[in-house]
Chain A
């Protein structure tokens, strides 16, 4: 093939980092062709990250060292040309969501690369609009990046890297810190990029999510390329072969089945030994009361000495809060926690438990490993010294006894932190994502360490996304995602799928947007109050940055990409009449702003999403009416009216409901299975891992009756005011 078709040409490149002994890359040659997706894999330290840095010019211009050979990226010599010449051609995404954005604000970050290139303001804003459409980040614009989830941050990173329409994307372990949903999102983004003709180079440990997207796999070892595989060849390799190369599993199904099995086990908390559990919770509710009202109940759980429990669930379901509550760093919102059978206060919990944080650097305070282990204890006591020696021996740290903890590798730092926990005599040890970014060998090491600790009689809790770790080393698994969350708007409790009762829905509904523009002074005052309340809460304040009413009108207007029509009213009635389908449960007539009737359809319930809009159980209605084939109202996601209309007639809050709609369910919903066929028409998978693209952006309908007071009440309630 001619040179023109190769986006990246590596010609006998060798590189050794400044101050390092070994070479990081040795005589590497690789050609990457246009529009192909290449995956670089291998054990830790094999050179794949270094290689990715060569492609975008970071090596040798930022990471200095000895560089020999030639690297041509998009026609430019990457090792001599200044990095900014490569910027419009190569987009880079790195692994740590927290430190790869340079600006504090989403829109500024998106504009950043374009601003550096000196583009005019109009062009920049146009590119921002285009990129936010492409990546669906419209609702995130203008917000502070600090408050986004890891998955959202990575999505912003991908968008920001695409602003200059690069030809080549280089990704360095982009999914290290992401949960299953965010990984599925990442995959979709990459598929989209491929379809747009970009060349993609990804260095990764976790390979399963790339099945079907990658075209070619390049295996590195010790700085050399060992073998290159076409995708079909690679996927046909046996799991044993993959493991021997130090790679993570390609097929996660067996692990997931095992995890499902372990989850079932946790439903039976009493173990055979019958001993009092070290830590047990009863009716525990975690979270914080107050305006944002994030509170959730967690199932009763018990942690016993010698057992390894896994805690899984997507980010945002409360794992971190739970873990902080169990260690007494945060007060429980309700219920009790019992330590060795007795009610425990947070102070006692902090004394009994320990957490190895995801970023261990916050936990190391001394200048030598030995000192670190003896912090807080009497260093002159020979018994303490002897204990420290024993602990170091058990954890293979004796060789590093006098080294500064910060000079160790991450795995060694983890062990130092665990060592300090052992020295304090902690019985409950919690590890937060100990294997993110680790290759197979090191993951197995961590697993071995867990077993070792359990054998010493500690109770272990591992918070993880890593299916291989969970399936291989946990005795049981708790999945917080599968338990219902309660928040301030639906504290009435919604365990499991709600029953559908047409009586709750019958009547006329009016779009919430009408309240936004209302002329009534009382309503306007209520809006002012709501705005003040939102601005006062730092977590919610960014939403109201441009006025709370603007926020709501955007929310009402951007629920679906196809939402080009402002919906004014609904009329809900019983289905029936000529030709009505037997399974239809509800008839909805849609009205536009000017009161023209747009459509009228009978809907049936396709399935229920357990955690849909605002985390509540959401009905997925669909209509089989042939007239609806191109209609944006074909699929309708809606939560049950709150409260029901019957309840409202008896006095109480104005009924309201939230909804989204689209012609195709896939526009609104992403299935958790990366290889599920999300383009299928008709029934979607309905699995518990299904989530919405935008669970917090929806249109709202309120019952079309009630006085001005009722409307003010609902406005207040939606902002959690009293």
Chain B
């Protein structure tokens, strides 16, 4: 498909230079079909990032690795998020992406409450980004950090896990003090560590994403 305004020598080759007038991007208002398709494409990419993050965190830290899953995902997905926000420039894109990811995670067997997280946080992120008209770099970064919490859903079962084991220990007759002793460290400490890690990694990943956006996509004229 011909890119409409690359310089005079414009061969019609199959893989075209990306259209420099992202056709629907600047139209305000509702999400058009082209926007939804763009969201789908980026959701697929984000999903890949999540899969990679799952792999990495499981290998690095065994079963409990999924605590750090959102952090790892946040670290590597900055580019995808920033490019989507820049390309769409309107409300709804980030929300839909979050919802779609949540949907796929739910259908593949993740805990249903994580679906709630994938709606709440992306909506918040979208609102924050909108406040800066999708252009303010600071707000976009904050928005990305909020968005990354959308993946905390799959972690929730871990807390249920702990409760279940506690319940089973109680059933076997261990006393409360003993149980607390076993689990004291694992509980609050790890929780704050995980949440803090997400914040830090999202900041890093988002900053990296914005840098890449400027270095490549703005320079190439795609955004």
Contact = CB atoms under 8 A, between A and B. Distances in A.
Interface of A: 17-21, 24, 44-45, 49-50, 62-65, 94-96, 98, 172-173, 176-177, 205, 358-361, 367, 404-413, 436-439, 442
8 contacts: A17-B5, A49-B1, A176-B12, A205-B12, A404-B221, A407-B20, A407-B221, A437-B12
A505 to B, nearest CB: 47
Contacts of B10: 44-45, 409
B14 A49 contact: no
B6 interface: yes
Interface in B3-23: 4-21, 23
Given A404-B220, A407-B220, A173 B12 contact: yes
B219 A404 contact: yes
B14 A96 contact: yes
A410 B4 contact: no
Contacts of B1: 49, 94-96, 172
A412 B220 contact: no
Interface in B104-157: none
Nearest to A17: B4
Interface of B: 1-2, 4-21, 23-24, 34, 215-216, 219-222
A360 B20 CA distance: 18
Nearest to A62: B23
B183 to A, nearest CB: 44
A49 B220 contact: no
A436 B20 contact: no
A19 B16 CA distance: 17
Contacts of B12: 44, 49, 95, 173, 176, 205, 437-439
A19 to B, nearest CB: 4
A77 B215 CA distance: 43
Nearest to A406: B220
Q: What secondary structure prevails in chain A residues at the interface with B?
A: loop
A583 B211 CA distance: 77
A670 B211 CA distance: 55
A18 B6 contact: no
Nearest to A203: B12
Nearest to A61: B23
B6 A409 contact: yes
Contacts of A361: 15
Contacts of A413: 17
Contacts of B11: 44, 409-411, 437-439, 442
B213 to A, nearest CB: 11
Given A44-B9, A409-B17, 6 more contacts: A49-B1, A358-B14, A359-B14, A408-B6, A409-B10, A411-B11
A383 to B, nearest CB: 27
Given A44-B10, A407-B221, A96 B15 contact: yes
A65 B21 CA distance: 10
Contacts of A411: 9, 11
Contacts of B2: 45, 49-50
A64 B23 contact: yes
A63 B216 contact: no
A407 B9 contact: no
A687 B221 CA distance: 50
Nearest to A357: B15
Nearest to A64: B23
B17 A410 contact: yes
A358 B14 CA distance: 9
A678 B37 CA distance: 44
Contacts of B14: 95-96, 98, 176-177, 358-359, 436-437
Contact of B216 (A44, A173, A406, A439): A406
Nearest to B14: A96
Most buried by B among A24, A49, A65, A367: A367
A65 B6 CA distance: 15
Contacts of B9: 44-45, 409, 411-412, 442
A412 B17 CA distance: 11
A114 to B, nearest CB: 18
Nearest to B20: A19
Contact of B215 (A173, A176, A205, A367): A367
A18 B21 contact: yes
A177 B14 CA distance: 8
A696 B91 CA distance: 50
B220 A63 contact: no
A379 B187 CA distance: 50
Nearest to A100: B1
B21 A407 contact: no
Nearest to B16: A410
A205 B11 CA distance: 11
A409 to B, nearest CB: 5
A18 B26 CA distance: 11
B24 to A, nearest CB: 8
A64 B17 contact: no
